[in-house]
């Protein structure tokens, strides 16, 4: 169950799945035809943690051919076990157009999550005939190379809030761990129809940190719960660490927290806005950790993530991957409350200089549960070029994938560099790379697949050109 894929370099794919018991030798049979799974890869990684109800199995398939379909089946299997397929990454430098799907703040759907009912004081329940975001992504499976989930995965840490509000039956705090794990398992099972056939690349969000939803209050009984209620195994991103295997070893990153990979003409940088912000900041804005996450750091040194990011961005071969896309959970900018819970000013202060210095093209975030497309920005100043060959990164936020608590109302007035915003529709993002100069962002309405907003970024560069990086603050220069 919970079958999921992750790129493992240009010729590798990690297959992960869960079982109710430990496997001594997790194995995957695979091949180029569904009827001929003539190769086997194995590992010794079958792991769990104290409160988990399952074991996480991870096997890396290596030596694959780029941009090629393979069929596979986790072992052991029986006659009813499905044979899945995936397509490997495009080679770095392959300039064939393609799309990716991006979602953030995507939680459990259905009777234990988002339905036609939302939490108390929340807005935007699903309409009776609306597709939810997981259903919409399923329907569009095959039209995107991979799905990036930019933090806040499952919302299992809503278990107590859902019980307090009478949405789930009450249990004890001691038994709450089982409810948390049940919600996690349900979500990952719902995602399998997507994650078993396209790589599911994840970034950490605040709801992966621990079991208490950043602090949960029962106002009727005047009780506040904090991270101290979380059992061992439900703190410090433990489930997230166990469940996924992102390509950090291939990119000298750290676990599932920061890593990079190429696909075709794009270099993707996934970063951590929850811990390891650097320069003395271990987590956004609060000395004790963001919203009392009490998590991390995961780097060996205070600035490990920043030092890694600088090395990674410096080494990008822009003649092969002219596009650089960064994905991190908390937004730096936007029409939202300008405090630690919405915009991550510490993230911006630490990380934005690198994005400017190395000419990152696009920065994606979620966390705030609505949609917004901004003008490209640097140091809080809108780039006057707009989308017509800006030198500043383009900031896009789509935290509207949906979960039990619906959507967040936009903070008005919108910032003056906001070019599109929507707080009424559940949505995911389709990003299409046409060539080395044009990329189109579409916010897709989950309910019916309609495009809510479409905008194309143009970069004036010759394909195959090198980017010259000057000192920070100077204009990026592209040699044609």
Least spacing, CB of residue 454 vs Fe ion, in Å: 26
Contact map string, positions 193 to 232, toward Fe ion, x by CB under 5 A: ------------xx--------------------------
Of 157 and 250, which has the nearer Cβ to Fe ion? Answer: 157
Of 86 and 257, which has the nearer Cβ to Fe ion? Answer: 257
CA atoms within 13 A on the CB side of 260: 23
* Number of amino acids touching Fe ion (CB under 5 A): 4
Q: Select from 123-131, 149-157, 422-430, 445-453 the region that touches Fe ion (CB under 5 A).
A: 149-157
**Cα–Cα distance, 313 to 310 (Å, whole number):** 5
Least spacing, CB of residue 133 vs Fe ion, in Å: 15
| Interaction of residue 342 with Fe ion, rule CB under 5 A | no
**Cα–Cα distance, 22 to 251 (Å, whole number):** 29
**Cα–Cα distance, 372 to 336 (Å, whole number):** 10
Question: Within positions 78 to 117, which residues make up the interface with Fe ion, using CB under 5 A?
Answer: none
Task: Say if residues 435 and 323 touch (Cβ distance below 8 Å).
Answer: no
Of 2 and 206, which has the nearer Cβ to Fe ion? Answer: 206
Tokens of residue 199, six digits:
């790589």
Residue 344 burial (CB count, 10 A): 28
Least spacing, CB of residue 152 vs Fe ion, in Å: 4
Of 253 and 328, which has the nearer Cβ to Fe ion? Answer: 328
Least spacing, CB of residue 206 vs Fe ion, in Å: 4
**Cα–Cα distance, 144 to 122 (Å, whole number):** 31
Question: Within positions 366 to 425, which residues make up the interface with Fe ion, using CB under 5 A?
Answer: 367
Of 136 and 206, which has the nearer Cβ to Fe ion? Answer: 206
Smallest CA-to-CA distance from 362 within 259, 268, 260 is with: 268
Tokens of residue 189, six digits:
């099972």
Of 205 and 328, which has the nearer Cβ to Fe ion? Answer: 205
**Backbone phi, then psi, for 155, in 5-degree steps?**
60, 35
User: E strand or H helix at 238, and its extent?
Assistant: helix 238-243
Least spacing, CB of residue 407 vs Fe ion, in Å: 13
Least spacing, CB of residue 209 vs Fe ion, in Å: 10
DSSP percent split of the chain into helix, strand, coil, nearest 5: 15, 30, 55
Q: Which member of 145, 152, 276, 342 binds Fe ion (CB under 5 A)?
A: 152
Partners of residue 75 on adjacent β-strands: 27
Least spacing, CB of residue 70 vs Fe ion, in Å: 34
The structure tokens 């399923």 sit at 138
Tokens of residue 351, six digits:
């990380």
**Cα–Cα distance, 16 to 153 (Å, whole number):** 16
DSSP letter for 228, please: G
Of 132 and 206, which has the nearer Cβ to Fe ion? Answer: 206
3-state secondary structure of 192: helix
Q: Select from 144-152, 186-194, 320-328, 422-430 the region that touches Fe ion (CB under 5 A).
A: 144-152
Of 12 and 284, which has the nearer Cβ to Fe ion? Answer: 284
Least spacing, CB of residue 165 vs Fe ion, in Å: 19
Contact map string, positions 441 to 460, toward Fe ion, x by CB under 5 A: --------------------
Smallest CA-to-CA distance from 298 within 221, 236, 230 is with: 236
Q: Select from 138-146, 151-159, 172-180, 240-248 the region that touches Fe ion (CB under 5 A).
A: 151-159
Of 127 and 215, which has the nearer Cβ to Fe ion? Answer: 215
3-state secondary structure of 403: coil
Least spacing, CB of residue 366 vs Fe ion, in Å: 6
Of 281 and 367, which has the nearer Cβ to Fe ion? Answer: 367
Q: Select from 30-38, 145-153, 154-162, 408-416 the region that touches Fe ion (CB under 5 A).
A: 145-153
Smallest CA-to-CA distance from 271 within 204, 366, 360 is with: 204
DSSP letter for 276, please: -
Least spacing, CB of residue 179 vs Fe ion, in Å: 21
Residue ranges in contact with Fe ion by CB under 5 A? 152, 205-206, 367
């Amino acid at each position: 169950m919970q079958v999921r894929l992750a790129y493992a370099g240009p010729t590798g794919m990690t297959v992960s799945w869960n079982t109710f018991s430990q496997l001594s030798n997790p194995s995957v049979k695979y091949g180029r035809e569904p009827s001929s799974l003539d190769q086997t890869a194995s590992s010794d990684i079958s792991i769990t943690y104290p409160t988990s109800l399952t074991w996480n199995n991870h096997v890396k398939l290596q030596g694959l051919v780029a941009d090629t379909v393979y069929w596979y089946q986790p072992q052991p299997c029986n006659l009813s076990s499905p044979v899945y397929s995936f397509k490997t990454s495009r080679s770095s430098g392959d300039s064939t157009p393609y799309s990716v799907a991006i979602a953030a703040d995507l939680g459990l759907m259905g009777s234990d999550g988002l339905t036609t009912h939302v939490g108390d004081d929340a807005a935007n329940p699903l309409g009776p005939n609306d597709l939810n975001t997981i259903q919409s992504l399923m329907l569009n499976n095959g039209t995107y190379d991979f799905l990036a989930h930019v933090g806040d995965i499952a919302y299992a840490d809503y278990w107590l809030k859902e019980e307090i509000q009478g949405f789930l039956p009450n249990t004890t705090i001691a038994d709450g761990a089982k409810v948390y794990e049940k919600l996690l398992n349900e979500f990952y099972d719902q995602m399998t129809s997507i994650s078993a056939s396209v790589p599911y690349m994840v970034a950490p969000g605040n709801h992966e940190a621990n079991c208490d939803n950043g602090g949960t209050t029962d106002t009727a009984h005047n009780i506040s719960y904090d991270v101290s209620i979380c059992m061992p195994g439900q703190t410090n991103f433990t489930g997230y660490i166990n469940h996924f295997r992102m390509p950090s070893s291939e990119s000298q990153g750290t676990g599932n927290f920061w890593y990079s990979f190429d696909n075709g003409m794009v270099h993707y940088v996934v970063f951590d806005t929850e811990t390891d912000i650097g320069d003395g900041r271990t987590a956004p804005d609060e000395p004790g950790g963001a919203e009392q996450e009490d998590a991390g750091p995961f780097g060996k040194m205070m600035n490990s993530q920043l030092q890694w990011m600088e090395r990674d961005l410096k080494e990008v071969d822009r003649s092969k991957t002219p596009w650089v896309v960064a994905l991190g959970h908390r937004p730096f900018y936007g029409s939202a409350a300008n405090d630690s819970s919405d915009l991550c000013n510490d993230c911006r202060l630490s990380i934005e200089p690198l994005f400017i210095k190395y000419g990152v093209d696009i920065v994606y975030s979620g966390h705030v549960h609505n949609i917004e497309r901004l003008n490209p920005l640097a140091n809080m100043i809108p780039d006057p070029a707009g989308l017509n060959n800006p030198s500043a990164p383009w900031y896009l936020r789509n935290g509207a994938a949906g979960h039990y608590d619906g959507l967040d109302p936009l903070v008005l007035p919108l910032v003056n560099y906001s070019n599109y915003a929507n707080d009424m529709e559940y949505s995911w993002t389709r990003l299409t790379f046409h060539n080395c100069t044009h990329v189109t962002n579409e916010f897709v309405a989950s309910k019916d697949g309609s495009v809510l907003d479409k905008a194309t970024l143009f970069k004036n560069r010759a394909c195959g050109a090198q980017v010259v990086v000057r000192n920070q603050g100077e204009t990026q220069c592209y040699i044609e």
